[in-house]
Amino acid sequence: MSSDLNSHVIRDLVIANRILAREGVIDDFGHVSVRNPANPNRYFIARSRSPEIVSADDIVEFTLEGEPVQAENRRLYIERALHGAIYMARPDVNSVVHHHARSILPFTITELPLKPVFHMAAVIGAEVPKWDSQDEFGDTNMLIDDLPKGHSVARALGDGSTVVLRGHGAVCVAPGLAAACFLSVYMMENARVLLETLPHGNPVYLTSGEVEQTAKLLLSDVPMNRAWDYYKARAGFPGI
Amino acid sequence: MSSDLNSHVIRDLVIANRILAREGVIDDFGHVSVRNPANPNRYFIARSRSPEIVSADDIVEFTLEGEPVQAENRRLYIERALHGAIYMARPDVNSVVHHHARSILPFTITELPLKPVFHMAAVIGAEVPKWDSQDEFGDTNMLIDDLPKGHSVARALGDGSTVVLRGHGAVCVAPGLAAACFLSVYMMENARVLLETLPHGNPVYLTSGEVEQTAKLLLSDVPMNRAWDYYKARAGFPGI
Amino acid sequence: MSSDLNSHVIRDLVIANRILAREGVIDDFGHVSVRNPANPNRYFIARSRSPEIVSADDIVEFTLEGEPVQAENRRLYIERALHGAIYMARPDVNSVVHHHARSILPFTITELPLKPVFHMAAVIGAEVPKWDSQDEFGDTNMLIDDLPKGHSVARALGDGSTVVLRGHGAVCVAPGLAAACFLSVYMMENARVLLETLPHGNPVYLTSGEVEQTAKLLLSDVPMNRAWDYYKARAGFPGI
Amino acid sequence: MSSDLNSHVIRDLVIANRILAREGVIDDFGHVSVRNPANPNRYFIARSRSPEIVSADDIVEFTLEGEPVQAENRRLYIERALHGAIYMARPDVNSVVHHHARSILPFTITELPLKPVFHMAAVIGAEVPKWDSQDEFGDTNMLIDDLPKGHSVARALGDGSTVVLRGHGAVCVAPGLAAACFLSVYMMENARVLLETLPHGNPVYLTSGEVEQTAKLLLSDVPMNRAWDYYKARAGFPGI
């Protein structure tokens, strides 16, 4: 892998970190990773650091088992098993976001279904599956801090693009960083709209045909570029 | 048409783009157009680009059928049929805004009526009509991506100033850019107030007499200039 | 009246305009006035201009009947009758704020009582009276655009510090600008807390004894200076 | 105590003031203190000043009884008895925050239990105790303005980390400033999530085992440093 490709990927990962902070998806905790395009058995993610202040120097390369490729003595994210386990299970996935966006939390601690009610959210899939650490692991520190928990979440994710974790947050996966940010933002927005709608009656959800057609269109070139340019400008990278 | 007039119109359209972003009406998706004052069969709108980052260079002139007047190889908004169809149907309309302001979405996916409850919102009309892509088109990608859908929305709009689209967003039309921004902002604000009121009982809506008298006053010179000056200053155009 | 006093009063009025914008009490519409300390039959208020962009040059002196003291050909607030009528009725009042803070609107269009539920809001009084333009004036343009309507609102205000207007907004009055800003902010905040509490059960309101003791303390020197310094710094006047 | 240690502690206290303002925990009223690490019978807190604008010059050292250690003629916080009484009762506590974060207020004026529903909030304890000034003191000005009220709140706090005050706000205590800020932020966030969840059904709260394990982990070195670095950068102290 050339260092040019490396620096390009790392730059985009830094931008994605800043975007997820700027758009209110991630605050002090949560993270985003990208698979190494030159070696599918490696991925990049920041050392333990809030996305809003991540720089290129903070990016570390890991094996899918969660070991740093080069010796590293800085603090590392405790939950990186989540990323590795998903990259193992899903060759089509090249970026993983883990966040605690507040609007999705009510759906993780009630029976409320999390389904798209407006077109931009079609990308989250017809219905978001739910994962509860109690089911397999009982009382824990709530973190996905080892591979068995990572594999368990990956199974709940299945072949979809999103999964929520009880009393914790969400995971969004996509073929690339731009789509992963897009998914994360609109998952959060859709949840917010649902919370504001439900007190007033049952909403009309998108039909499965609408979800499929709209998601396909939104993840295509024109919309994805528009969103990425917008996110980058707002996150402080207008000319890149 | 003189290039002076052109540059004046384009400047105001850029400002309107920035205003709608600054006031939280439009995020990455959504758009605003203005009819060419020198040729009612043409309108201006940005190329595919989020309003927050639109500049004069991004503005493109279109026929009402949606063809760029000059050869154009940049990406274009997929939903420009919405603008053209409304300019065809409504000679009194010189500006069209299409947005996904979150607060109006609950009204598009439930039976809740969207009517003005405070004076500033009288401009949206006595009750906002609702359009559902399913009625004529069945499962789609949810976008107004061709003239038949544009004409259908224009029919739902009728001779009013606003219409909402199920699971999608809203359209606001006005005699000019300032009024179109004003309408969009107060439609969003009125929806927010309604959502916060409805859990506590039935609100007193404005009477039809109040709607008529208040809308007439608000769209007059003094209030419209005050709002436009305010919006411009906040969007970064204080001296214009 | 010396021009020094004049310039001091006008400076504080400009600051109050900026504070009310910065704290989210007033957006494009709404206004704040101050009685001329050298002549109780005069008051100062901006020409028709949104508070966020008001400067010293925008301040105009008016008689209580609403006539500019010096010839003025700029646009003027349509609702200045509200200010004059209150200064006539209430010699103890030296500042009037009229705003459309969103959180108070639900209380103007339902039966919900607006009463303080947390200590900082004791300053709004034990219960905010409600005024409806329909009662005396039937269908109108909803504005307080003449003295009869101004007098009617002043009667509803009585000897209190706040009144709300159906489908419109609120009026807050105080012995000075700092207290008028403070009242406006905490009226808005208390309404927001109430809206968030009511779906979960009946709140415990402050007792009348608590309202009285707490309001007296908050309007005293120490808290009022702390709030004014804070507001000024946030509004861009840190050193004044 | 060396002046170096003093200046280090004061610097961190200034930063904590700015953090609590930046994160929306404290507005014009509320305060944060830190125990003097060189003398457990002393604590530092600002003179009467809003945290957003506190500087090192504003910090004053007090005895636990609330007397300034050095002669002081600036205005002082009326509620400092709250801080002193807690430092007397709790040798393990080195930092106290008192705030009026809006989202916790509904829990102080209803029967709603305030318990953690997401992992980050495990630090507030299994259930937040409630204190009502009426119980021992009847009608008051609602402030904790003398030691008897301070001792009463300290008793309600017990050996926990948080307590809420009816119609007033909350108190958060911790072994240090970073943890006190962290607790305050996540108490506010958890309350917000609860308010948004409760209209939709009974939430699943964290189990007591989860609260214990998760709180222990979050208050450990890695997460606490990540949060503090994040808060500092956002509050304008990126390099410290």
d(CA C29, CA C20): 11
- Across-strand partners of B68? B62
Q: Do B226 and C48 touch (CB under 8 A)?
A: yes
List CB contacts (< 8 A) between D169 and chain C. Answer: 118
**D234 in contact with chain A, both atoms CB, cutoff 8 A:** yes
pLDDT band at A6 (very low <50, low <70, confident <90, very high): confident
Q: Do C206 and D167 touch (CB under 8 A)?
A: yes
Element holding C137 (H helix, E strand) = helix C133-137
Q: Do A142 and D214 touch (CB under 8 A)?
A: yes
Chain B closest CA to A214's CA: distance in Å?
A: 4
d(CA A52, CA A30): 11
CB pairs under 8 A between A and B: 104
In 3D space, the residue among B217, B228, B240, B239 whose CA is nearest the CA of residue B23 turns out to be B228
What's the DSSP call for residue C158? T
**A239 in contact with chain B, both atoms CB, cutoff 8 A:** no
List CB contacts (< 8 A) between B113 and chain A. Answer: none
List CB contacts (< 8 A) between A166 and chain D. Answer: 204
Provide the token pair at B69. 């007047």
pLDDT band at A179 (very low <50, low <70, confident <90, very high): very high
B40-50: per-residue pLDDT in tens?
A: 999 999 999 99
In 3D space, the residue among C128, C123, C228, C94 whose CA is nearest the CA of residue C183 turns out to be C123
**C2 in contact with chain D, both atoms CB, cutoff 8 A:** no
List CB contacts (< 8 A) between D111 and chain C. Answer: 201
**B237 in contact with chain C, both atoms CB, cutoff 8 A:** no
Q: Do B78 and A222 touch (CB under 8 A)?
A: yes
**A210 in contact with chain B, both atoms CB, cutoff 8 A:** yes
In 3D space, the residue among D39, D51, D42 whose CA is nearest the CA of residue D13 turns out to be D51
List CB contacts (< 8 A) between C226 and chain D. Answer: 28-29, 48-50, 75
Q: Do B120 and C49 touch (CB under 8 A)?
A: no
Could you tell me the sign of the dihedral formed by the alpha carbons of C87, C92, C93, C94, in that order?
positive
pLDDT at C2: 55
pLDDT higher than threshold 60 for residue A2? no
Q: Do B102 and A193 touch (CB under 8 A)?
A: yes
d(CA D188, CA A25): 17
Q: Do A50 and D230 touch (CB under 8 A)?
A: yes
List CB contacts (< 8 A) between B213 and chain C. Answer: 139-142
d(CA A9, CA A11): 5
pLDDT higher than threshold 60 for residue D39? yes
Asked whether the beta carbons of B33 and B64 are under 8 A apart, the reply is no
Residues 6 or more apart whose CB falls under 8 angstroms from that of A135 comprise none
pLDDT at B2: 56
Mutate to test the interface with C, among D50, D82, D142, D192 (most CBs of C within 10 A): D142
List CB contacts (< 8 A) between C120 and chain D. Answer: 29, 100
**D238 in contact with chain A, both atoms CB, cutoff 8 A:** yes
CA dihedral (A50, A54, A57, A59) in degrees, to 10, reads 70
State the alpha helices, DSSP H only, in A90-176.
105-108, 133-137, 147-157
Residues 6 or more apart whose CB falls under 8 angstroms from that of B157 comprise B86, B89, B90, B129, B163, B171, B173
Chain C closest CA to D105's CA: distance in Å?
A: 7
Provide the token pair at D202. 């009974």
**B102 in contact with chain A, both atoms CB, cutoff 8 A:** yes
Mutate to test the interface with B, among C18, C28, C78, C143 (most CBs of B within 10 A): C28
Q: Which of B118, B201, B233 sits opposite C111 (nearest CB)?
A: B201
Chain B closest CA to A99's CA: distance in Å?
A: 21
What string of DSSP letters covers A38-99? T-TTEEEEESS--GGG--GGGEEEEETTS-BSS---S---TTHHHHHHHHHH-TT--EEEEE
Is C136 catalytic? The answer is: no
pLDDT at D196: 97
A93-112: per-residue pLDDT in tens?
A: 999 999 999 999 999 999 99
**D69 in contact with chain C, both atoms CB, cutoff 8 A:** no
The chain-wide mean pLDDT, for chain B, equals: 96
Residues 6 or more apart whose CB falls under 8 angstroms from that of A120 comprise A186, A189, A190, A218, B29, B100
d(CA A232, CA B28): 11
pLDDT at C158: 98
In 3D space, the residue among B205, B121, B207 whose CA is nearest the CA of residue C109 turns out to be B205
Amino acid at C1: M
pLDDT band at A138 (very low <50, low <70, confident <90, very high): very high
* Rg, chain B, Cα only: 17
pLDDT band at D1 (very low <50, low <70, confident <90, very high): very low
**B71 in contact with chain C, both atoms CB, cutoff 8 A:** no
Residue whose tokens read 């200590």: C119
Residues 6 or more apart whose CB falls under 8 angstroms from that of B59 comprise B10, B13, B14, B44, B45, B46, B47
Chain A closest CA to B64's CA: distance in Å?
A: 22
B72-89: per-residue pLDDT in tens?
A: 999 999 999 999 999 999
d(CA A70, CA B221): 67
D100-133: per-residue pLDDT in tens?
A: 999 999 999 999 999 999 999 999 999 999 999 9
> At residue C93, what are phi and psi to the nearest 5 degrees?
-95, 130
CB pairs under 8 A between A and D: 104
Helix (H, G, I), strand (E, B) or coil at C38: coil
Chain C CA closest to residue D199: C199
**SS3 string of chain D?**
CCHHHHHHHHHHHHHHHHHHHHCCCCCCCCEEEEECCCCCCEEEEECCCCHHHCCHHHEEEEECCCCECCCCCCCCCCCHHHHHHHHHHCCCCCEEEEECCHHHHHHHCCCCCCCCCCHHHHHHCCCCCEECHHHHHCCCCCCCCCHHHHHHHHHHHCCCCEEEECCCEEEEEECCHHHHHHHHHHHHHHHHHHHHHHHHCCCCCCCHHHHHHHHHHHCCHHHHHHHHHHHHHHCCCCCC
Chain C closest CA to D18's CA: distance in Å?
A: 13
**D223 in contact with chain A, both atoms CB, cutoff 8 A:** yes
B148-190: per-residue pLDDT in tens?
A: 999 999 999 999 999 999 999 999 999 999 999 999 999 999 9
Q: Do B167 and A223 touch (CB under 8 A)?
A: no
**B207 in contact with chain C, both atoms CB, cutoff 8 A:** yes
Neighbours of chain B (3+ CB pairs under 8 A): A, C
Q: Report percent pLDDT > 70 for chain A.
A: 99
Q: Chain D neighbours among C 169-198 (CB < 8 Å)?
A: 189, 192-193, 196-197
pLDDT at D76: 96
Asked whether the beta carbons of B165 and B100 are under 8 A apart, the reply is no
Q: Do B210 and C103 touch (CB under 8 A)?
A: no
pLDDT at B6: 83
Residue A211: CB atoms within 10 Å: 23
Residues of B that are catalytic: 79
pLDDT 10s digit of each residue in chain C, 240 long?
457 778 899 999 999 999 999 999 999 999 999 999 999 999 999 999 999 999 999 999 999 999 999 999 999 999 999 999 999 999 999 999 999 999 999 999 999 999 999 999 999 999 999 999 999 999 999 999 999 999 999 999 999 999 999 999 999 999 999 999 999 999 999 999 999 999 999 999 999 999 999 999 999 999 999 999 999 999 999 876
Q: Do D49 and C216 touch (CB under 8 A)?
A: no
pLDDT higher than threshold 80 for residue B32? yes
Q: Do B75 and A223 touch (CB under 8 A)?
A: no
Chain A CA closest to residue D211: A141
What string of DSSP letters covers B9-78? HHHHHHHHHHHHHHTTS-SSS-EEEEE-TT-TTEEEEESS--GGG--GGGEEEEETTS-BSS---S---T
Could you tell me the sign of the dihedral formed by the alpha carbons of A62, A68, A69, A74, in that order?
positive
d(CA C166, CA C234): 31
D172-228: per-residue pLDDT in tens?
A: 999 999 999 999 999 999 999 999 999 999 999 999 999 999 999 999 999 999 999
pLDDT band at D36 (very low <50, low <70, confident <90, very high): very high
D132-174: per-residue pLDDT in tens?
A: 999 999 999 999 999 999 999 999 999 999 999 999 999 999 9
ipTM of the complex: 0.96
Residues 6 or more apart whose CB falls under 8 angstroms from that of B35 comprise B42, B43, B44, B87, B93, B94, B95
Q: Chain D neighbours among A 108-147 (CB < 8 Å)?
A: 108-112, 134, 138-143
In 3D space, the residue among D81, D232, D44, D237 whose CA is nearest the CA of residue D171 turns out to be D81
pLDDT higher than threshold 90 for residue D2? no
Mutate to test the interface with C, among B206, B230, B234, B240 (most CBs of C within 10 A): B230
Element holding A211 (H helix, E strand) = helix A208-218
d(CA D199, CA D185): 23
Catalytic residue, candidates C23, C61, C79, C189: C79
Neighbours of chain C (3+ CB pairs under 8 A): B, D
pLDDT higher than threshold 50 for residue A166? yes
